Amino acid sequence: MLKSPICIGDQNACYMLAGMRFGGFAGSDLAGLIVAVSFAAGLNVYATIATLGLLARAGLLDLPSGLHLLTSWWVIAASAVLFAIEFFADKIPAFDLFWNALHTFVRIPVAALIAYGATSHLSPEKQLLATLAGGAIALAAHGGKTAARVAVTPSPEPLSNFALSAGEDTLAVFLTWLASQHPIAAAGIVTGFLVVIIFAVRWIVRTIDRAFKPSSS
């Protein structure tokens, strides 16, 4: 059981998350877990759900009552099957863009629901905050994943597309596992990825803006 750090209070969203409890996790450990799992879900929601369920089944993660459904073998099996389908579908050039666009309506809502279920014992205001945070982090991960695919898909060789997709799958599983053992470290890694995504998006927007800006004669 991880030790629970002192809660500073409701000064902002981070401190508010730090006061929550996630099964055997508390304080900043809880915040780190939610951040990492939400990001992982934005990359591959099926791998994330299956990993959470298996970790709980193995006794490595104490899920709250709001997420006990994830420990069902039916949920784990369904997630594993969908993960297997996504494993191949997400590695087909061009089709992966359609697949990722479709999963905008899956990854983000499910990440928000995981955060919602993890904080079902809290006040409605704090639960709403956690839900929005989970969805926003998943949106950033999903957006970064989609942007990377748009950049790689035009490549004539399929190896780069396959390698990128495999890396995303591995990262989703790794982050979920790491969050169950070292949530602060997992959140630190996610923070680094979020910074990279923010700068990448700004660079893409500026590049597009320059491309469409009429040149002065």
Structure confidence at residue 214 (pLDDT): 67
Predicted TM-score (pTM) of this structure = 0.82
Average pLDDT value for the chain = 83
Report the pLDDT averaged over residues 75-87: 96
In angstroms, the CA 74 to CA 167 distance is: 27
**Model confidence over 117-132: pLDDT tens digits?**
888 777 888 889 989 9
- For residue 66, CA distances in Å to 7, 119, 126 come to 23, 8, 15
Query: Is the Cβ–Cβ distance between 180 and 32 less than 8 Å?
Result: no
- Alpha-carbon distance of 110 to 107, in angstroms, equals 5
138-192 per-position pLDDT tens digit: 999 999 898 888 877 777 666 888 888 899 999 999 999 999 999 999 999 999 9
Domain ranges of the chain: 17-210
What's the pLDDT at 21?
A: 43
